[in-house]
Structure 1
């Protein structure tokens, strides 16, 4: 007879969806959590015999899934949500976003914006995000305040901003921040050169050297628009992916965002080098960037994750929306109803993203030994009844409004749809403050 194991928390649920290779759905099971980690997933009756928990949480109408991971964000840009809509990417950037950033972005802006973004993401079941923005030290503080997990971008761009004077300054500041926060268990880091059209060969080469030395991924926008590709041909004589290839950046350490306009040869090149890709369907649609060839990437066994992009271009930090759009767009673009099924969309929002960030041993699935990064979805709403397949409902019928509870490292950050670490009133007040600041200089 096994001895009773004393644990911190036991969460009972109608369904547990581990996102494992067997695509299993566990009925009436419980997750045992101790010291921030999952130590067992068992049928409820067995769990009560095996574990003695300080806290038992019964979610009898819920599904538990791994916390969703947002693989591409510019979190603080939430303070520019709705500022400039219905415009092509380069006009949106050159005439609206970059001028606003030059006037307003500072440490306080990034701290307030990232806190607001963390709140929105937590309420939508997101437990981890991969960020690319200025003043990452402020982003780090916001993440730690919220209790979320994040990969922070050591951004680099070849023009001065309020954050840094030149590419070397960006990189020096980013690496110094990583050194200071290296031991924080909720934080990891990526090098984040903005895009091929804003970063020189010299800077990209330096980043590659540092990335290989530190074993850190590289997170970059790539092949987002036809304008980007045409500019590269004019400036460098080759398309951006070929330029990245010539510089040696194509590798399992590359996280390439958007990847909308690809030839068959470029897809083979990405596969050959083991690169990761990020699909941002809402942002691609809103900015009219095009339709990424997701099914071709998946058919070539290329790891494809999902991201929202910024709330300034999306305009939601909503991974449920991205899962649904990714699945539907794949079907419509290929004329194949079985393209990108629901379980694959869920993988793209969880374990695929963890693999890209190199944290798949920590999070991305529900399994013993992994961090207790868990999202609970309430299936009691009428529009989720009846339920023949909870995974299908998660992708095609549920929304972030059904997220009821969220845990990161075993700590509850959302309880009955209420934030536990962030003050909603304070977030509203700071958002209103920045709205007035930006309006006054528009």
Structure 2
């Protein structure tokens, strides 16, 4: 018998590729943090000997979920300023609160809260855009999560930096610090076309080309953003980015709710990746990302939660359900985004947007063993005719029982193995008392 580190057997294994595949009574074999085989359980028990054999008789085993857009530390602002449009929310509430409270300690505690929440919801990889990314990187390394750290750039000074030159210097140092890490990587993260001047966007494009690094940016988030750009520059934001040479496969464009047919064609032609954040867009009344039209054109669309301050959770499984339902309603086509395609958006398509699809996103031999087990038993989940449909339309994150990153068990029977839940809650409540002393926090 062949020796492996661990075997994970499940009632259903959903590898994501080939698309639409569901494997009954299968086992994933793991060695040195990677998947070496996926085969029928009876065969696996004859072929492999493992130190650990996790048997999940009522579960579906899927790739770990990929949250392609987050602002992790903003978890400490969850519910701070609800029911407001984007610019009022940002300018009158969020930016002032950040100016007063953001620090390395704030980012550490907020990111730790976010990572705990994401792991308990099945997310194994996140792409983060926020200040003090070096703090988030060190924390992700300790916790064991896979992370893509945004090298933030914005025209205005913040507690993190004095201006674009300072942000870029810190970003390049961040890139150098993590460039050889197996689980942590970096992308340039200019905030948006309306907060980063053209000369700095050009500089970022040149640096991204030199470093072979992607660019992660909010683009066409609201109608107001587009109208203001036309009024001040005579161009829509995408046109400006195109003229600056930023529309290419290195661009990860987040939100993209305001698009015409020509822009959709241009996005497809240039290979831009899109991150859809349906619940944040709904809550802020920002608009609807035309997912069905994008996928019809072959555009890669991933899913992100955005930050917990505007969502108000980091529940990617819930985001998948919302994305599937919203695509049907927005397009008038009930078949617009089937369950298996929605699941792929939160796994393989997310990995592809981040440039990680050779390493994660599907249960394919050779890839890292980033896995999520979801219990499909119980009266809320039965009868069960199609496991993938059940995952997307019925399952909730409290059914996530186990999570592995590179074969390391980070959630075991819903217990976090590398994070202290009681300590996280205590520090979160202390921040609540500082940020909004009048709010209840007992």
TM class by shorter chain equals: over 0.9
SS at 2:254 equivalent:
strand
How far, CA to CA, are the matches of 2:91 and 2:257 in structure 1? Answer: 21
How far, CA to CA, are the matches of 1:201 and 1:84 in structure 2? Answer: 31
Q: Are positions 1:394 and 2:391 aligned together?
A: yes
- Give how far 1:133 is off: 0.2
- Give how far 1:145 is off: 2.1
Instruction: Verify the 8 A CA contact 2:216 2:253 in the aligned structure 1.
Output: yes
Residue number in structure 1 paired with 2:144: 147
SS at 1:79 equivalent:
helix
Residue number in structure 1 paired with 2:261: 264
- 5+ residue gaps in structure 1? none
- Give how far 1:436 is off: 1.0
Instruction: Verify the 8 A CA contact 1:143 1:150 in the aligned structure 2.
Output: yes
How far, CA to CA, are the matches of 2:158 and 2:327 in structure 1? Answer: 38
Number of equivalent positions: 439
Q: How does 1:220-239 map to 2 (within 5 A)?
A: 220-239=217-236
How far, CA to CA, are the matches of 2:332 and 2:131 in structure 1? Answer: 41
Q: Are positions 1:304 and 2:295 aligned together?
A: no
207, 215, 227: which one aligns with 1:218 = 215
- 5+ residue gaps in structure 2? none
Q: Are positions 1:44 and 2:41 aligned together?
A: yes
Residue number in structure 2 paired with 1:425: 422
How far, CA to CA, are the matches of 1:320 and 1:56 in structure 2? Answer: 26
C-alpha deviations, 1:320-378, integer Å up to 9, x for none? 11111111111111221111000000010000010011110110000111000000001
Question: TM (normalized to structure 1)?
Answer: 0.98
Q: Are positions 1:197 and 2:179 aligned together?
A: no
How far, CA to CA, are the matches of 1:288 and 1:381 in structure 2? Answer: 35
How far, CA to CA, are the matches of 2:264 and 2:190 in structure 1? Answer: 21
SS at 1:57 equivalent:
strand
C-alpha deviations, 1:263-318, integer Å up to 9, x for none? 00000110110000011100000000011111111110000010000000000101
Question: TM (normalized to structure 2)?
Answer: 0.98
How far, CA to CA, are the matches of 1:302 and 1:22 in structure 2? Answer: 17
- Give how far 1:230 is off: 1.1
How far, CA to CA, are the matches of 2:343 and 2:168 in structure 1? Answer: 34
Residue number in structure 2 paired with 1:207: 204
SS at 1:412 equivalent:
strand
How far, CA to CA, are the matches of 1:329 and 1:361 in structure 2? Answer: 29
SS at 2:385 equivalent:
coil
Q: Are positions 1:9 and 2:6 aligned together?
A: yes
- Give how far 1:21 is off: 2.7
How far, CA to CA, are the matches of 1:335 and 1:102 in structure 2? Answer: 43
- Give how far 1:441 is off: 9.6
Runs of 4+ in structure 1 off by over 2 angstroms are none
Moved more, 179-188 or 90-99: 179-188
Q: How does 1:61-140 map to 2 (within 5 A)?
A: 61-140=58-137
How far, CA to CA, are the matches of 1:210 and 1:235 in structure 2? Answer: 27
SS at 1:221 equivalent:
strand
